[in-house]
A and B are shown apart, each in its own frame.
Chain A
Amino acid sequence: MSKELIRLKDVSMTFDGDTVLDNMNIYFNDKEFLTLLGPSGCGKTTTLRIIGGFLVPTSGDVFFDGVRINDVPPYLRQVNTVFQKYALFPHLNVYDNVAFGLRIPKSVDEGGTDINSESSGRGKRKKSKKVKLSKDEIDQRVQEMLEVVSLKGFEKRTVSSLSGGQQQRVAIARALVNRPKVLLLDEPLGALDMRLRKDMQQELKRIQQQMGITFIYVTHDQEEALAMSDTVVVMNNGKIQQIGTPEDIYNEPKNAFVADFIGESNIVDGIMRADRLVEIFGRQFQCVDSGFEKDEPVDVVIRPEDVDIVDVTQGALTGLVTSVTFKGMHYDIIVDFKGFKWLIETTDFCPVGSHIGIKLDPDSFHVMKKSEYSGMYGDYSSYSAEYDEISDAEYQEEESVDEEEYYES
């Protein structure tokens, strides 16, 4: 990708002795769609708020275009935010909401509206004169932006008369109309229903490409992250777990946390007997991974869709089907292998109680080094309960608790 725009260097954040971000180092490239992905409380929103300027990190530095901006207040940053609950001004109509930022006189230096990258510093800021956009220019830019978000004709509507999806679009237009270099999006689709969410994902990706600016997107929804992003940053407990393209993250998870959080994974204990030879359940399998010590204990990820079901007699491993769920495209079946339950996706119907064999190709194994997350994930013994959790939209309450903490601080 192109040049680096934002860098967080050794950034830590502590609220009341509670470490929310732990020595985070990350950079964001220009024009990239980057997603911060993780469960609630992982520090992703905190990261976003630090970039937006609403939080000052306890330690560490934030750089924008090479200039340290720790102490630059939000209103002087070339960054705009789409807030989780939109935060549209209730006393203004759609047009005035979008025009809000444009109506504020901006200090202008030689480099256009570029203040943050102005290295001559703060003294000069006061001298630079305030420039107000003309009414016509404001109107033109507002109309242009309403067009981008497909809200032409909604100018005079009050915010409260709009649907969730429309409010969402207004929030995006209100932020983008200022032509920021970076747009921060804090779970912007969280309050929308499933179908609208899918549409908006497409829409956001299109807008990002059309505007050609950096999007930093925060979500807990791994599907959303994979579908939209150029780069995904998986976070947990205030630490970055893995940075990579969606394909990397899915195919080559670094540890059990990432493997479990992104998609479905069966994670079993294994031993690397040699390069490209892994042993699980006392049997050795060909695999494609190498670079481990001989006899090193490892975590082995097997994705549910990579397992081939065969006749019991031909299986490398055999197990007992304990549960079957019809998912439309396929069945999710839970198979008990010597007390360890696997999730397998299959198009063949296998009734509960039947014995099956499985075949595993070398590239269906992904071998990971042992980590602090080893043994915590990847067993489907409590499968049904876990599925309930995934489908619940309960994250919102949790997130709002987080938010309150931020405001207090």
Chain B
Amino acid sequence: MKAKAFAYPYIFWMALFVVAPILIIVVYAFTSSTGSLTLDNFTSMGGSYLTVFGRSFLLAFIATAICLLIGYPVAHALAKEKSRLQGMIVMIIMLPMWMNFLLRTYSWMSILENTGLLNRFFAAIGLFDLINAISGFINNTFGTHLSTDLEYFEMINTQGAVVLGMVYNYLPFMILPIYSVILKIDSSYLEAARDLGAPPRTVFRKVVFPLSLSGVLSGITMVFVPAVSTFVISDLLGGAKIMLLGNLIQMQFLGGTYNPHLGSAIALVMMIVVIICMTIMNKFGAEEEQAVMF
């Protein structure tokens, strides 16, 4: 009974700083600047807003998929390593997360810029000269008009750069939950599967993967949700061209188009869409656990 009392501060905290703000957002979303009840905030979200919604979810989805594709094999391999090596690798995976988030993203800026590290490296090894020469050769031979004055690859301010930033920043959130779930799978299950005639691949497909699904689901959640609402990554690596929901909302509160009511409405819609996505996925996941078996 006493132990319960220690939870009260957090419950109070939650009520004050989680529940209350959400309620405030809801109130804001359904009112106008004069304070009257209205749906205008929602109905005004059309056209370009939809593009931003679509882009945000698409980029977050791509980033999550890439994180999963990279993260699962890493987590799986990691869980099989000797425990001392495991600790070291986990530490290396965690290490960037101890660095400031902004700083990390800024450094990608200086890498990807037109005059950034990567482009200078390409120039230094003569990659652009080579491409220009080839283009020139093709132009001469076939009479085409390929440009021959390539000086840099345009990497910054592209959707690719934004996805890269998301993957880079959120990959550990995919690896760690999967890793810890795989680590906990009792090795006797694997032995039993082998004993029953399953070759290594089948052991993975029928035992390891289904048993690690809970880790996969929490990994997806932990990557997708922050990725869909980020504004720093898209701001720094996407520039003005690649506007995401996060930027849109930020603008309504801090930017030139100050309109917290609209901002709240956007935030609310995003939250609902995310919740729907997660619910569907969790349901799908729960069934998958059975379905994978057949």
A92→B191 CA distance, assembly (Å): 16
Q: Chain B nearest CB: distance from A220 CB in Å?
A: 19
A90→B186 CA distance, assembly (Å): 10
Q: Chain A nearest CB: distance from B209 CB in Å?
A: 10
Q: Is A168 an interface residue (CB 8 A)?
A: no
Contact with B along A134-178 (1 / 0, CB 8 A): 000000000000000000000000000000000000000011001
Return the chain B residue nearest A100 by Cβ: B196
B206 touches A75 (CB 8 A): no
Return the chain A residue nearest B191 by Cβ: A54
User: Which of B24-32, B116-124, B156-164, B197-205 makes up part of the contact surface?
Assistant: B197-205
A75 touches B192 (CB 8 A): no
Other-chain contact of A92, B195, B198, B202, B293 (Cβ < 8 Å): B293
A373-409 at interface with B (beta carbon < 8 Å): 407
Chain B residues in 8 Å Cβ range of A75 = 194-199
B195 touches A81 (CB 8 A): yes
A73 touches B194 (CB 8 A): yes
Chain A residues in 8 Å Cβ range of B206 = 100
B191 touches A175 (CB 8 A): no
B191 touches A83 (CB 8 A): yes
A96→B291 CA distance, assembly (Å): 12
A175 touches B196 (CB 8 A): yes
Other-chain contact of A100, B193, B199, B211, B289 (Cβ < 8 Å): B193
Chain A residues in 8 Å Cβ range of B207 = 89
Chain B residues in 8 Å Cβ range of A106 = 197
Contact with B along A72-85 (1 / 0, CB 8 A): 01111001110101
Q: Is A101 an interface residue (CB 8 A)?
A: yes
Q: Chain B nearest CB: distance from A409 CB in Å?
A: 12
A83→B192 CA distance, assembly (Å): 8
Question: Interface residue tally of chain B, by bracket?
Answer: 20 to 34
A53→B192 CA distance, assembly (Å): 12
Other-chain contact of A87, B186, B198, B290, B293 (Cβ < 8 Å): B186
Q: Is B187 an interface residue (CB 8 A)?
A: yes
Q: Is B189 an interface residue (CB 8 A)?
A: yes
Q: Chain A nearest CB: distance from B197 CB in Å?
A: 5
Number of chain A residues whose Cβ lies closer than 8 Å to a Cβ of chain B: 27
Q: A87-B186, A92-B293 are in contact. Are A104 and B195 (CB under 8 A)?
A: no
A79→B191 CA distance, assembly (Å): 13
Q: Is B34 an interface residue (CB 8 A)?
A: no
A85→B188 CA distance, assembly (Å): 8
Chain A residues in 8 Å Cβ range of B199 = 73, 75
A81 touches B192 (CB 8 A): yes
Q: A85-B188, A100-B206, A407-B187 are in contact. Are A91 and B211 (CB under 8 A)?
A: yes
B289 touches A101 (CB 8 A): no
B157-185 at interface with A (beta carbon < 8 Å): none
Chain B residues in 8 Å Cβ range of A73 = 194, 199
Q: Is B239 an interface residue (CB 8 A)?
A: no
Q: Is A52 an interface residue (CB 8 A)?
A: yes
A87 touches B192 (CB 8 A): yes
Q: Chain B nearest CB: distance from A286 CB in Å?
A: 54
Return the chain B residue nearest A174 by Cβ: B196
Chain A residues in 8 Å Cβ range of B136 = none
Pull 17 A–B residue pairs with CB atoms less than 8 Å apart, ordered by A: A52-B195, A75-B198, A75-B199, A80-B195, A80-B196, A81-B195, A85-B188, A87-B191, A87-B192, A88-B192, A90-B211, A91-B211, A91-B289, A91-B290, A100-B198, A101-B197, A175-B196
Known: A87-B189, A104-B197. 4 other contacts (CB 8 A): A73-B194, A74-B195, A101-B196, A175-B196
